[in-house]
Amino acid sequence: MRRRNVKILATLGPATNTPERIRALHDAGADAFRLNMSHLDHEGLKKMHGYLRQVEAEVGRPIGILVDLQGPKLRVGKFANGPVELKEGASFRLDLDPAPGDVTRVNLPHPEIFAAIAPGRNLLLDDGRIRLEVKEAEADYAITKVLQGGVLSDRKGVNLPDATLGLSALSDKDRADLEAALSLGIDWLALSFIQRPDDVAEARKLARGRAAIIAKIEKPNALTELDGILDLADGLMVARGDLGVELPIEQVPGWQKRITRLARKAGKPVVVATQMLESMISSPMPTRAEVSDVATAVFEGADAIMLSAESAAGDYPIEAVEMMNRIAVEVEDDPNYSSIIYGQRTEPEATSADAISAAAHTVADTLNAAAIVCWTNSGSTGIRAARERPQFPIIALTPITETARRLALVWGLHCVLTEDAQDLDDVVDRACRIAFREGFAQRGQRIIITAGVPLGTPGATNMLRVAFVGEKGGMVG
Q: Where are the alpha helices (DSSP H) in 34-130?
A: 42-59, 111-116
Q: How far apart are CA 85 and CA 124, in angstroms?
A: 15
Q: Is the pLDDT of residue 164 over 90?
A: no
Q: Is the pLDDT of residue 474 over 90?
A: no
Q: How far apart are CA 315 and CA 176, in angstroms?
A: 32
Beta bridge partners of 150: 86
* C-beta separation of 196 from 228 below 8 A: yes
- What digits encode the pLDDT tens for the residues 106-161? 999 999 999 999 999 999 999 899 999 999 999 999 999 999 999 999 999 999 98
Q: How far apart are CA 149 and CA 162, in angstroms?
A: 19
- What digits encode the pLDDT tens for the residues 267-278? 999 999 999 999
Predicted confidence at residue 197, as pLDDT, reads 97
Hey, what's the torsion of the CAs at 324, 330, 331, 335, to 10 degrees? 180
Torsional class of 29: left (φ above 0), alpha (ψ -120 to 50), beta (otherwise): left
Geometric angle at alpha carbon 301, from 295 and 303, rounded to 5°: 100
Predicted confidence at residue 473, as pLDDT, reads 67
* C-beta separation of 306 from 273 below 8 A: yes
Q: Is the pLDDT of residue 230 over 70?
A: yes
* Catalytic member of 260, 274, 450, 461: 274
At residue 364 the predicted structure's pLDDT band, cuts being 50, 70 and 90, is: very high
**Domain at 84-159: CATH architecture:** Beta Barrel (2.40)
* Catalytic member of 4, 7, 16, 34: 34
- What digits encode the pLDDT tens for the residues 454-469? 876 776 788 999 999 9
Known active-site residue 129: no
Q: What is the mean pLDDT of residues 430-444?
A: 95
* Catalytic member of 7, 216, 387, 433: 216
Higher pLDDT, 73 or 54: 54
Known active-site residue 274: yes
Around 318, how many Cα atoms within 13 Å sit in the side-chain half-sphere? 11
Predicted confidence at residue 459, as pLDDT, reads 66
Q: Which residues contact 33 (CB under 8 A, 6 or more apart)?
A: 9, 10, 11, 12, 22, 25, 52, 63, 64, 65, 66
Known active-site residue 398: no
* Catalytic member of 2, 46, 75, 129: 75
Mean pLDDT taken over the chain: 94
Backbone angles phi, psi at 185, to 5 degrees: 90, 40
CA torsion through residues 253, 254, 255, 256, sign: positive
Geometric angle at alpha carbon 124, from 121 and 127, rounded to 5°: 155
pTM above 0.95, yes or no: no
Nearest to 36 by CA among 165, 217, 216: 216
Tell me the one-letter amino acid at 159: N
Backbone angles phi, psi at 179, to 5 degrees: -65, -40
With pLDDT > 70 as the criterion, what percentage of the chain qualifies?
98
At residue 476 the predicted structure's pLDDT band, cuts being 50, 70 and 90, is: low
Q: What is the mean pLDDT of residues 398-407?
A: 97
In the chain, where the domains are located: 7-72+168-336, 84-159, 352-468
Q: Is the pLDDT of residue 28 over 60?
A: yes
CATH of domain 352-468: 3.40.1380.20
Tell me the one-letter amino acid at 195: Q
Known active-site residue 346: no
Task: Kindly indicate whether the domain formed by 7-72+168-336 is annotated with CATH number 3.40.190.10.
Answer: no
Q: What is the mean pLDDT of residues 161-171?
A: 87
Q: What is the mean pLDDT of residues 217-246?
A: 95
Q: What is the mean pLDDT of residues 203-218?
A: 97
- What digits encode the pLDDT tens for the residues 300-341? 999 999 999 999 999 999 999 999 999 999 999 999 999 999
- What digits encode the pLDDT tens for the residues 281-299? 999 999 999 999 999 999 9
* C-beta separation of 28 from 318 below 8 A: yes
